[in-house]
Amino acid sequence: MPMLYRLDAPAPHVARSFGAESGNDPWDGGHVAPGQFAPVITAGREAIAGPRPHYRTPRRMIPRLWGVPPPPSVHEQRGILTVRNLDSPFWIGNLRNSEFRCLVPATAFMEWGRPSPTDGKRRQCWFACADQPVFAMAAVWKDSEIPSFALLACEANAALRAEGRETMPVILPPDPAVQDTWLRGAWDRAKSLIVPYSSSLMEMRVAG
């Protein structure tokens, strides 16, 4: 799973791409590393207390920190970056309740690839989507000490397996209806979206 991704677009452009309200999000473009704040798109439910409203809440783009604080029973206190076990008690409540699901916009993500055949050094492989300049990674948010999020993981596609990776982030198609299923749909429908993105729709660039 990525330890770094990029979102090379300012907040107003990102918000328009996903039909969201950007508010005062200061994002101007750049890379995102664990422990940093980045734009996250929600269905707006986190701003409303109590039962689910009868009206359709607008999508909101708000900054959240990448890395959910672990449960108190975990000695390692680094933030959890990805969700791999969908049946984990730590995640299942947030996954089944659609208001806790969110979209994380990106333009590319980095995975460590196989060593270079010339010098044996690890290579930074940057993956982007050929069919959508700004794409959405499926994620889930939690509120504890800080407003945070974690990316959903799935089995790697052929392009990432070729670089020795076993998992990849869940990338959603450029279809507002599909994205809306992740943000608002029942868990059985949303869960069906946790699949590898097609290798034929991805581009790879090796840094350096």
| pLDDT > 70 in the chain, percent | 94
pLDDT for the residue 113: 94
Q: Output the average pLDDT for the chain.
A: 92
CB 23 within 8 A of CB 46: no
pTM higher than 0.85: yes
Residue 102 has pLDDT above 70, yes or no: yes
When pLDDT is averaged across residues 16-20 and rounded to a whole number, the result is 95
Q: From CA 1, how far away is CA 25, in angstroms rounded?
A: 26
CB atoms within 10 A of CB 167: 17
pLDDT class of 24 with cuts at 50, 70, 90: confident
Q: From CA 135, how far away is CA 172, in angstroms rounded?
A: 7
Burial label for 207, CB within 10 Å (0-12, 13-18, 19+), is exposed
pLDDT for the residue 51: 57
Domains and CATH numbers, the chain: 4-49+57-206 (3.90.1680.10)
Per-residue pLDDT of 56-94, as tens digits, reads 788 999 999 999 999 877 777 789 999 999 999 999 999
User: Residue 139: which of 87, 197, 184, 81 has the closest Cα?
Assistant: 81
Higher per-residue pLDDT: 181 or 22 = 181
pLDDT for the residue 208: 61
User: Residue 83: which of 194, 198, 197 has the closest Cα?
Assistant: 194
pLDDT for the residue 145: 76
Burial label for 15, CB within 10 Å (0-12, 13-18, 19+), is buried
Per-residue pLDDT of 144-195, as tens digits, reads 778 999 999 999 999 999 999 999 999 999 999 999 999 999 999 999 999 9
